[in-house]
Structure 1
Amino acid sequence: MHTRASNPELVEPLPEPERTLNRRLRRRNRRAADRVVAPTPGFTITIPKTPNVFAIKVNHLTLIKRNQFDGRTKTDPHKHIHEFLGICDMFKYKDIENEAVRLMTFPLSLTEEAKTWLDELNEGTIETWDELRTAFISRFFPLTLFD
């Protein structure tokens, strides 16, 4: 019978376990982020050229996916835009304009009817964040409701 003290394969404890763990987690997150490819929303949205190749951070994508808009009549498109911008503002990408990130990630924030609406727009319809926001609000919060 072996006891812990007599086991020659035991490893010495780390001198700074928290620091080592944090370093390993950062390294793992960087590797995971390198594997994530920026999504291609399709031809509806024209993404501006960016100076660098970059990947959308996994945490960013997770938050966006948790806050999806489905287009139902009881959902508020203004609230969705506000929450989407809040998520986007949490993440910064070196030498990348916020507009490019918004245009790339907004399609991921849509599901069901809202996703179908975006997918059915004509090619090249959207070129700026303002155009996308205006088209989205017009479709899901039309002024004709109040006329």
Structure 2
Amino acid sequence: MVYIGSIRTPPLVGNTTFKISVFDGLPLEDPNKHLKDSLEGIKLRLFQFSQTSEEIIWLGELPEATITTEVELTEAFLERFFPSSGRI
């Protein structure tokens, strides 16, 4: 597995390698926030496995922990591989 230091994923708890939070349906829990946070973490963690060598090298060259959300990842990826100057 390739470690990509530019993507900072939500923190893990204890010695787990990946944590999916549990929604209990309690009155103080927000189901929309739970879904957003869970999906965000999954997408950020899985992104590296869908890339070719060029994209992995690019991610490795970014400063550590600069990508913290799916939106940041999308914007950085599109700007690098499909620059604004080339878009319609």
TM-score by length of 2: 0.65
Distance in 1 of aligned mates of 2:10 and 2:4: 13
| Residue 112 (structure 1) shift | 1.7
Kindly state the Cα deviation for residue 42 of structure 1 after the two structures are TM-superposed: 2.9
Match of 2:10 in 1: 48
* Deviation of the 1:51 alpha carbon: 5.7
Which structure has the greater CA radius of gyration? 1
Aligned equivalents of 2:13 and 2:61: distance in 1?
Answer: 30
Which fold has the larger relative contact order, with Cα–Cα distance below 8 Å and residues 6 or more apart in sequence?
2
Paired AA for residue 5 in structure 2: F
Distance across 2 between alignment mates of 1:146 and 1:55: 37
TM-score (norm 1): 0.41
Compared CA separation, residues 41 and 104, structure 1 to 2 (3 A): farther
1:98 aligns with: 39
Whole-Å Cα distance in 1 between the matches of residues 40 and 70 of structure 2? Answer: 6
Q: How many residues align?
A: 73
User: 5+ unaligned residues in a row in structure 2: which ranges?
Assistant: 23-36
Q: Which runs of 5+ in 1 are unaligned?
A: 1-38, 57-92
1:18-75 alpha-carbon deviations (Å, 9 max, x no partner) = xxxxxxxxxxxxxxxxxxxxx674321111125683659xxxxxxxxxxxxxxxxxxx
Q: What one-letter code is carried by the residue in structure 2 that aligns with 1:43? A: G
Partner of 2:64: 123
> Which residue does the alignment assign to 1:11?
none
How far apart in 1 are the matches of 2:58 and 2:4?
Answer: 13
